[in-house]
Homo-oligomer: A and B are copies of this chain.
Amino acid sequence: MYPDEPFTIGIDIGATKVLIGSVTQEGKVVHQQRYDIDLSSEQLLRSSIYDSIANYIDLQQVRNVSKTIGIGVFGHVDFEHGEWMGSMRLPGMDKVRFREDLQAKYGFDIAVDNDVHAATLAEMYLGKGRQYRNFLYVNVGTGIAAGIVSDGRLVRGAANYAGEIGHIFVGKDMEPCMCGSNWCLETAASGGGMIHRANRWLMDYPDSILASKIQSGTVVSVDIFRAALLGDPLAGKIHQEFIWSMGIVLVNLVNILNPEAIIMGGGVLQDEWLMKELSTFVFEHAAKVPSNALKEITLTELGPQVVGLLGASCLAWNYEAMN
């Protein structure tokens, strides 16, 4: 079933599934299994995750498997202790002690981090980040977050929460954000924020070609960008403010962190022309020295279907390299 090369077990825990896979050192997924996750109670959440892991490990040959399992999960992770602290989607949950619960049981070391840090490490080991000692990975999906790599090391911060760029200031008196402020990047440039704007602004643009999709609740960010290209005024306004606010934040990040590259991923960014517009904005407005040092703003080459598993495996590799 498996080739002879060594592999790592990676676990990607998202809001809708637990994906577990076996990843070779070249980043090839040789086997994977998808399990349902049950968020309906804390008890069921735990058991659905732990049962998935038990099932996958039972199924595997352990020959050639590396000694660390990597787990990438949404929300806040205590990297040092290997604990999932919670998520805004699961208010009040008790922390899940992955390392404590799994290490003794299965005999593996356990490395845990959040999904964006995991994806950043996937860029570093397997993606375009291999070329750079200093780069940013920026994920624009339902929310917005970043991973920062400085001199070949992931910047984690005091509580492993570095990279929370969704709440950077992009303008006064905008929509209220769930964080409590009313100036946040996410309200203008995340998938969720743009869909919210489409709903809110539709009354001013009743003839928008997106009207029926908005009213039926099926509009997504890619629809908005395509409608903007066709000249739809509502979509055009949302698109312009996306470029402005995302551009401002990327300029801030270039000035603060002086990266060689910005690698972007996430469901919102699927069009090369958007990347070109963002690049033009950033190179025009960033300070001269960091602008000259920035080689590219580019889309990730790692597919959305595999980046979670690859990231989880890279977490394990990074953990082994650090310990």
The residues of A with any CB-CB pair to B shorter than 8 Å are 76, 132-134, 146, 148, 150-151, 153, 155-165, 167-172, 179-181, 183, 248, 251-253, 255-260, 285, 287-290, 292-294
Expressed in whole angstroms, the Cα–Cα distance for A169 and B188 within the complex equals 15
- Give how many copies assemble into the complex: 2
Additional 12 contacts, C-beta under 8 A, given A150-B150, A164-B289, A169-B248: A133-B158, A146-B256, A148-B256, A150-B156, A157-B259, A159-B258, A159-B293, A164-B255, A167-B251, A168-B252, A171-B171, A180-B285
Can you list 16 A-B pairs with a CB-CB distance of less than 8 A? A150-B150, A150-B157, A157-B293, A158-B260, A161-B289, A162-B256, A162-B257, A162-B258, A164-B287, A164-B289, A164-B290, A167-B255, A168-B255, A169-B251, A179-B288, A252-B252
A76 contact set on B, CB distance < 8 A: 289
Expressed in whole angstroms, the Cα–Cα distance for A153 and B157 within the complex equals 12
Q: Is the CB of B256 within 8 A of A163?
A: yes
Expressed in whole angstroms, the Cα–Cα distance for A76 and B171 within the complex equals 30
Top-9 shortest CB links A-B = A157-B258, A159-B293, A158-B293, A162-B258, A158-B260, A161-B258, A164-B255, A161-B289, A150-B155
Q: Is the CB of A155 within 8 A of B157?
A: no
Q: Is the CB of A167 within 8 A of B257?
A: no
Q: Which residue among A159, A165, A251, A260 has the maximum number of chain B CB atoms within 10 Å of its CB?
A: A159
A164 contact set on B, CB distance < 8 A: 255-256, 258, 287, 289-290
Expressed in whole angstroms, the Cα–Cα distance for A289 and B260 within the complex equals 28
A179 contact set on B, CB distance < 8 A: 287-288
Expressed in whole angstroms, the Cα–Cα distance for A231 and B171 within the complex equals 28
Q: Which residue among A133, A151, A183 has the maximum number of chain B CB atoms within 10 Å of its CB?
A: A151
Expressed in whole angstroms, the Cα–Cα distance for A110 and B97 within the complex equals 48
Q: Is the CB of A158 within 8 A of B259?
A: yes
User: Please, which residue of chain B has its CB at the minimum distance from the CB of A155?
Assistant: B150
The secondary-structure label for the interface of chain A is loop
Q: Is the CB of A165 within 8 A of B259?
A: no
Expressed in whole angstroms, the Cα–Cα distance for A148 and B148 within the complex equals 12
Q: Is the CB of B253 within 8 A of A157?
A: no
Query: Do A170 and B168 contact each other (CB < 8 Å), given the known contacts A150-B155, A287-B179?
Result: no
Expressed in whole angstroms, the Cα–Cα distance for A134 and B157 within the complex equals 6
**Nearest chain B CB to A175 CB, angstrom units:** 16
**Nearest chain B CB to A81 CB, angstrom units:** 15
**Nearest chain B CB to A4 CB, angstrom units:** 37
**Nearest chain B CB to A185 CB, angstrom units:** 10
User: Please, which residue of chain B has its CB at the minimum distance from the CB of A252?
Assistant: B168
Q: Is the CB of A287 within 8 A of B156?
A: no
Other-chain contact of A257, B134, B155, B170 (Cβ < 8 Å):
B155
User: Please, which residue of chain B has its CB at the minimum distance from the CB of A159?
Assistant: B293
Expressed in whole angstroms, the Cα–Cα distance for A168 and B251 within the complex equals 8
A132 contact set on B, CB distance < 8 A: 158
A255 contact set on B, CB distance < 8 A: 164-165, 167-168
Q: Is the CB of A157 within 8 A of B290?
A: yes
